[in-house]
Structure 1
Amino acid sequence: MPVHFKIVVDCADPHRVAAFWAEAMDYKLEDHSSFIAGLLAQGIITEDLLTEVDGRHAWKTLAAIRNPDDPFDEASDAGKGMRILFQQVPEPKTVKNRLHLDLHVGLDNIDSEAERLEALGATRHSERLQEGPAQWIVMQDPEGNEFCVHS
């Protein structure tokens, strides 16, 4: 049986990085505030686990984005399909990622997409690279995690 999965990204500021990736991928930021309110009302969690983002309760050390076209849990707003979770870790990024995302935007859109992502806070790590018919630009998100804008 196939295994369901999500990608987890370690970072210092999960809400900032999640907001970047939501814009970069046209994904939806998950809003866990209703779920959190229920847990608070039941006394299951306390305020020390929370922060405020855009005027709502959010997990202090976690944020997530999901494909807006995939199914999701209405009670928690957690995606049931393609999803990326951002978790706060104490240590900074120190070496190259062993896993990265390739954003496939089409050959004619690589440069304009790289420029759009730079305006959102990404930085270019390389100029356009090519191997056979494939072309890409290596970039870094606002915390330095590498990804590629790919044909």
Structure 2
Amino acid sequence: MAARVSHTTINCLDAYEVSEWWKRLLDYTDVPGDPNLPGDPECMIVDPRTGHRLLFIEVAELQDPVGRVHLDLAPTDLTRDEEIERVLALGARMVADRRRPDGSGWAVLEDPAGNRFCIVRSDAERAARSPATPPERSKSAS
């Protein structure tokens, strides 16, 4: 017996506002036939290519934004550093810059609602790394 991930849920105070921000960041769309509207307490968005879904749910009180679960994002058509600049321009805030001089590492950011996420190197950047550079490891969004 096995289970599959149905979607990733993000608690927030304004589901519509936060889902719209993540739609712009990830190039996701509303679920077909279920548009998100201002004031909706639950807003789901979907990756039109893979079907991955993010659900934003309004809660009365937010827990510690560090949390135990966060998203790691890898750029699809930019470098890690270019993606960090793009995301900052969209309104994210840098929490911790963990990039290393050898080109490895990542950055910890927060969306406008305080939810943390990381940006790691693109697949192309990881493939081009020298054999002496260790692979990136799992880490917490500290």
- TM-score, reference length from structure 1: 0.67
The answer (yes or no) to whether the contact 1:18–1:29 under 8 Å persists in 2 is: no
* AA matched with 2:47: N
The answer (yes or no) to whether the contact 2:43–2:55 under 8 Å persists in 1 is: yes
Gaps of 5+ in 1: 34-50, 54-58, 71-80
What does residue 43 of structure 2 align with? 63
**Which secondary structure does the structure 1 equivalent of 2:79 belong to?**
helix
Stretches of 4+ aligned residues off by more than 4 angstroms = none
Q: C-alpha offsets along residues 24-83 of structure 1, whole Å, 9 cap, x if unaligned?
A: 1111133515xxxxxxxxxxxxxxxxx944xxxxx720111101124xxxxxxxxxx310
After TM superposition, the structure 1 stretch with the greater mean CA deviation from structure 2, 1-10 or 139-148, is 1-10
Gaps of 5+ in 2: 122-142
* AA matched with 2:22: W
Higher helix residue share: 1
Higher relative contact order (CA 8 A, sep 6+): 1
Greater C-alpha Rg: 1
The answer (yes or no) to whether the contact 2:110–2:116 under 8 Å persists in 1 is: yes
Shift of 1:3: 2.2
Q: How many residues align?
A: 118
The answer (yes or no) to whether the contact 2:46–2:52 under 8 Å persists in 1 is: yes
**Which secondary structure does the structure 1 equivalent of 2:109 belong to?**
strand
Q: Determine what percentage of the aligned residue pairs are the same residue.
A: 32
* Cα-Cα RMSD: 2.6
Shift of 1:95: 4.3
